[in-house]
Structures are given as structure tokens and as C-alpha cells.
Chain A
Amino acid sequence: MIKQHYQSIIIQTICSLLIPFIQLFALYVIFHGHYGPGGGFQGGVLLAVSIILQRLYLGHKISYQKFPPRLAMALAATGLLIYGLAGIIPMLSGASFLDYGSLPLFWVHDAERRALGILIVETGIGLGVFGTLVLIFDNLVGERW
């Protein structure tokens, strides 16, 4: 069981300084997946780590108000929905499932549309992994929501 609240000023300062940078790096990992190592899975794990660090040093009472576990569940479902819609919307215009070249993004040409489709899908994966990992942590800790 996690302690309710760490009274150490060192832990509180370091954690509150680290969390924004972890989240920024997570966004970098998600959106830089086109050009280097990274992608939705890794970036989603980093986002989840930032929330879990907040849970660890703030305790569940304050942390559940800042980021409720139900929001984590909603984000996980939203990420999966984004991926599914990116697959189904091309089918409406007659293309095959997950054919990003037929996404309705009219201001770019075909190959660039595929790059944007990959980005949309990676964002969905990131949200899904983020929500799922926070959800698993909240349930393993065993506090009531």
C-alpha cells in the first residue's frame, strides 16, 4: 500500500520538476516516431509513467482529483476508437480497411496523407496505452475510486 503523502521537500520538488519534462519527452517520442525510434507504445508508456509518479508522491486522495481513474479508462477507449475510425472512415469512400490514402484530408496529397494517417494512428495507440497502464496501476494499488 502506498503511503498517503511524502513529507520530504526533496521528493516533492524533484517529482514536480520531473513530471512536465517526462510528459514533454513522451510527446516528443510519439510525434518523432516518423523519423527515429519511438512511436505510440513507447510514448504512451512514458505518459503513464508521469501520472504514476504523481500518484506515488502525492498519494491517491489528491492525485485522483488531478487525474481521475475514470478519465484514464475513457482515454484508453478513446485511443482505440481513434484507431478504429482511422480504419473505418476510408471504407466509407470505397477504399479498403486502414487505407490511410483515402482519409478525407484534402489539403495534402496521397503520400503525405499516409504520413498523417500514421500520425493519427500513433496518437490513438499512445492514448490507449497511456490509459490502460494508468488503469492497471490504479487497480493494483487497490484504493477505491
Chain B
Amino acid sequence: MSLGLFFQLLANGLMSGGMYTLVASGLTLTLGVIKIFNFAQGQFYMLGAFLTFAVTVALGLPYPLAVLAALLSMALLGVLFYFGVIQKTMPQGFFSTLLVTVMFGMIVSQVSLLTFAYKERAIPAIFPGTLEIGEVSFNWGKLFVIVCAIVVMVALYYFMKTKIGTAMLAAAENSDVASLQGINAKQIFWVTMAVGCGLTGIAGAFVAPVMGAYLVMGQNIFLRALLVLMIGGMGSMSGALIAGFLVGIIESFAFQFVGYLNLIVILVFVGILMFFRPGGLLGQPLPVPGE
């Protein structure tokens, strides 16, 4: 393998890994803090990308505004979804909320199918051209995505250090004890939902100029995020960070050697890992109701 190809694959892997990390950390946050497995997460990602298309191409506004719009509107949608539906099904347990999110995802995907149809939307690159170092060339757009993913993860890290972030972590540890300490549990719920969905929306906005916006991107990334969660550990943020980049890189390199069987390589890896570390690399097995 030439050096150029190696770095090319690495850049691809890091870019998709960054996206997996963002989506998976949204997923793991909602799962860890408020015990909701949000199956609609992938659709939020897809909506974020389409929103970027709408803002930059259809409305002709600058790209940073599109990122902001994707972040805020997806967070808002998550909060509305929480207050409208999830809150009412929470008392019935983990599976009811899981199924509600599955159904919500189906509604979103069908509505977007009717609105956008199976047509890929291309969004003009924000940073066109390539960076040449010797024989190695990098696409500026991909590098930008990697940097953005890292910046958002760092921002998330500092957000978790703030008062509300600490309260979220406390609620994740034990929500009853947290509320005894004066933490407003209701507030934690919708804030977590907003952060989780906003992270996913912003990931969609980042990736849109490189990959475009298309309907199945939500499903594709959700399956990867699920794998990231299994590898990194449920409810573990640092696990999501490591496993996200790991999955991205494995996928990118495996594609070079086995083509579209690359997902199977990851699945076998996950399968073996599940037997030796069922909680993932960095997570602990979740406490299970009734066990």
C-alpha cells in the first residue's frame, strides 16, 4: 500500500469516525442519563443535512448559519418530541420509550421521503481543493469535518463540566439520589434530549458539504452508531469517542481490502468483543430491570 493511499484511507476513516462519534455520543448521552434508547437519532442526522441544504442552497445564506440552524432546530425537535410523546410513555418502562422512538423515526423518514424523494442533494463544498504534502493529498473538506468533530467533542467535554453537565452526570449515576441533592430531574430530561439531538443535527450539517444529503444516510449512520455504542460501552462518552474513530478507520481500511463486506469485519469484531467484554471497551453493563 502506498503512503498516499494509506493517508487517504486514514482521512476517510477519521472523517466518518468523527461523524459516528458525534451521533453515538448523542445516543449514549440520552441512554446513559435518561435511559432512553433513541432509535430516531439517525433521522435527526439526515434532517440536519437536509436543513443545511435548505439554508445554504435554497435560501442562499452562509454556511455557519446553516450549522447553527441544524443544531438549534434539531435540539428543539428533540425537546418537542420529548414533551409530546416520550414523557407520557416513560412510566411504562424502557421498551415503550424505545418503541416510541422507533415509530417516530419511521414517521420522520416517511415524511422526508414524501418531501425530498430519493434524490441526492449536493451542497457546494465550503473548502474546495486539496492539501498536498509530498505525494499525499488531503481533501480540505474532509479535514474540516474532522476538525469540527474534534472541536464539538471538546466543547461537549467542557459542557459536561458546567453545573448542568455535572447534574446530568449525577442523574446518570442515580437519578433518585440526584433529585435528593436538589437537581431538577425534569429539566435534566429535556436538556439531555436537546443536547443529544442537537449533536446529531450538527453532525449532519458538518457532513453535508462533503457527502451531500440523501435519505438513507440516517439509517446507515444509526447502524454504525449502534456498533460504536456496543464497542465503546453504553453510556460512556470517552468510549464513544474512541470507538467512533475505531469503527470509522476499520471500515475505511476494510473497504479497501474486502469491499462491501467491510461491515461484516466490524460485526465480527463486535461479536467477539461482546463475548469478552459485554459492557464494551470502557462501559459497565447497564443495570437491567428485573435482573
- Does B bind A? no
- A-binding residues in B (CB < 8 A): none
